[in-house]
Structure formats: C-alpha cells, structure tokens
Amino acid sequence: MNEPKNLTRAVLAGLDTGEYDAERSMEELRELAETAGCETVLTVLQSRPAPEAATCIGTGKLAEIREQMRDLDAELLIFDTELTGMQMRNIAEAADCKVIDRTMLIMDIFAQRARTAEGKVQVELAQYRYRLSRLTGMGSALSRLGGGIGTRGPGESKLETDRRHIRSRIAALREELRGIEKHRKFLTGRRKKDGILTAAIVGYTNAGKSTLFNALTRAGVLAEDKLFATLDVTARALALPDGRSVLLSDTVGLIRRLPHHLVEAFRSTLEETAQADLILHVLDASEPDVRERMEITQSLLADLGCAEIPQLRVLNKADLVMLPKQDTADTVWISARTGDGLDALLQAISRLLPQTAKRMQLCIPYREGSFLQTLRDEGKCFSEEFTAGGVLVDIMVDVRRQKYAEQFLIQGAD
C-alpha cells in the first residue's frame, strides 16, 4: 500500500475587485495548489475596489488570517494575484508565515513538470526574472520562504545577496535558449522543406489534450486530472485515413491570467504552434465556462500570429455532456477517454490539412522505373503487383507528381 503524501497545508487568499470572476479564479487557484502538492484548509476572498498598496488585502484581514492559520496549523499563504516585493514582505511579517503569489505557484508547478532541457531552461529563466524584479522590498520575506512550494529552482540566498550573479545567470540562460530556438527553427525549416505536415494540439489545461494525444499516437504521455500534467512539447507521427501522415505535437496547457513572465518564457515553445499546418483546439465540453476558456486560448493564439492557420475545434469529454452533439466542418465531438469520435476526428484532420498528396492506383510501365522509385521515396506505398504491362501500385503521390502520374491511372480508379 502506498504511503499518503505529506501535503503542505495552505490557505488561499484572493481579492475581488470586480475586474474578473474572482470565485472561478479562486477555484482554479485551489486546483493549482493541489497540483503543486498542497491541501487547501481555508479560502479567503476579500472584496475591495482596489488592492491595498502595502498588504493587498488590508492589515485587519491579515490579522484574521494569521489567527485562522494558527488554528488550522497551516504553513503557507497563497495569494491569487501578483504581489509586489513590498507587499510580500509586509504580508509575510503580518501573517508570520511563508507567502507566495499565483505566479510563483504556477512557476513551481512548471519546475516540477519540466522534463526536457528547453523546458527546464525556460522555467529557470522565468523564475530568475520574476524574483529579480521583486528583490527590492522583499527583505526578510526571502529568508522566510526557505524550501518547498513556490521556491523550487534558484537558491534564495543567492537571490538575496548577489544581484550580479542573477543577472549573469539570466544572460547565460537566454544564450542557451537562443541556441535551442535556433536548433528548433532548423528542424522546422527542414520539415517544411521536406513537405512534412504538422498539427498542434492546444487548449486550456486539463481539457484532455494529453489523453487525446495518447489515444491517437499511443505515445504514453503523462495524462492526469491535474493542471499542467504535461509541460514539454511532445511530437509523434500520426497516420491518417487518406494514407498521409502528420507530425502531431502536444503543447503546454493554458489557464486564466497566465502570467506574462511565463508566456514570454514559453513563447519559443508556443511558437511551434504558429508553424503548424493545422491547430486542434481541444475544449472540455463538460465545463460550464467552456466558452470563456475557448476565448482565452483564441486570444493567446492571436498574440502568437496563428489567426490565419486552419483550426479544428475538438469538443472533448462528450460522454459527460447530455446535449445534442452534431459535428460540423470545423467542430468534432469526441471522448478521448472512451475513443468515441476519434475516427471522425481523423477524417476531419485529413480534410483540413493542405492537400499535399493524393492516394492513386497506377499501372506504371517498367520503362518508368525511376519515376516509380521517386514515388516510393516521397510517399507511402500500400501495395505493389508486378504484371506483364507494368507495376500496379496503390500509392500516395505528391502534388508535384500528380499531373505526370495521371497518364498511368488504372481505368476506373479515382
């Protein structure tokens, strides 16, 4: 029997200024905290017209929280907003506990989930940049943080005592990231030159993107009912019903108010989406706020310059929705968990991808052996039969060869 994990007991604090749906944001913060390894023992939502400059929610409310944390034996206070260095110092002193904000919590999750060299570099760069901007004013709040949630990555003692070291490390990480991006662009250029079709799965975190990716490619990517179950981009070849194949990639999930530090840090990863021939926008159809989540994703895609790329809306978790479900030209209902609708999804992907190749049944004379070999090299050959009149082939023909190949079409073949 597995031993239960020692979860960090945390109190969540939020500020409702009317700018956004604070209650939904707090619920998402609870999910984020759970993903990071916390047990939420109390949620506090304070209504104010604007954040209080010194402590965000006011000293009176902080005094209440301090007593509640003592009664509940809580050790971590997480704010659902981005705190300044001064606010973090003042809150830590008033509440007498470790304090982190929403951005630090998300970066902690990213630090846990990053597996590739690029992911780790991007996380560390985001952490250094965020904390460097808050060193002034944080004072003793840094030493109060210690280890644990919100503090993975750079060592706090270095952050507190050596700014030059931090700036030097940021410069080194940026240089390392430039090298990774250069290699990525080289690979992308090679794929384009070789005519390799690409599709990117994007969407709100926990919409079932990785479950869908696994169902289509059997890649074995981690798929948990947690936010940011996967972080790094994974790509696998996917065979399509029309005989073509596409390189399918699974990208990091999105959330409300994704900190701009993380958008910037992961821009090179997300920009892989901007190079795709087709975007699969996966949505959790069972979520009450599915339309809002769709708009969040669409906004980021627009920022990345993806507005002109064809999109297929994939409404996942259809098995949990008791509504009429009708596929359209750009929308498919599926359940990645049960496999329902995956055949229709593959057909839709085939239809929406650029028509770079066509399946043809040909009888190629033996004198055209070099042409036949070119077709074999460029596309998938499903069958070959050697006859007196030539080689009967069922083969994918690149669009550049189709006009010449038409003279060898078998009568009656499409």
The per-residue pLDDT for range 218-271, each reduced to its tens digit, is 754 444 554 444 444 577 888 888 888 888 888 766 776 776 666 666 665 666
pLDDT at 155 over 90: no
Q: Which of 109-113, 156-160, 177-181, 391-395 has the lowest mean pLDDT?
A: 156-160
pLDDT of residue 284: 94
Percent of the chain with pLDDT strictly greater than 90: 38
pLDDT of residue 413: 60
Angle at 108 between CA 231 and CA 166, to 5 degrees: 105
The per-residue pLDDT for range 334-378, each reduced to its tens digit, is 999 999 999 999 999 999 998 888 889 999 999 999 999 999 988
The per-residue pLDDT for range 176-203, each reduced to its tens digit, is 888 887 877 777 677 666 667 889 898 8
Q: What's the mean pLDDT when you consider all of the chain? A: 83
pLDDT of residue 3: 44
397 vs 257 pLDDT, higher one: 397
The per-residue pLDDT for range 291-314, each reduced to its tens digit, is 988 988 888 788 777 888 899 999
Confidence band for 280, pLDDT divided at 50, 70 and 90: very high
Distance of alpha carbon 55 from alpha carbon 62, whole angstroms: 8
Q: Which of 177-191, 321-335, 387-401 has the lowest mean pLDDT?
A: 177-191
Using a cut of 0.85, tell me whether the model's pTM lies above it.
Answer: no
pLDDT at 157 over 80: no
DSSP string, 142-161: HHHH-SSTT--SS-HHHHHH
The first and second tokens of residue 358, run together, are 């066509």
Mean pLDDT of 61-87: 93
67 vs 292 pLDDT, higher one: 67
Q: Which domains does the chain have, with CATH numbers?
A: 8-161 (3.40.50.11060), 196-352 (3.40.50.300), 357-408 (3.30.70)
pLDDT of residue 4: 45
Answer yes or no: are the C-beta atoms of 398 and 378 closer than 8 Å. Answer: yes
pLDDT of residue 76: 95
Residue pointed to by tokens 């944080």: 138
Mean pLDDT of 63-90: 93
pLDDT of residue 194: 64
pLDDT of residue 43: 96
Amino acid in the structure at residue 414:
D
pLDDT at 10 over 50: yes
DSSP 108: H
In order of 223, 252, 389, the CA distances from 230 in angstroms are: 7, 7, 54
The rounded Cα 93 to chain-centroid distance in angstroms is 36
Amino acid in the structure at residue 272:
E
The per-residue pLDDT for range 143-153, each reduced to its tens digit, is 555 556 665 55
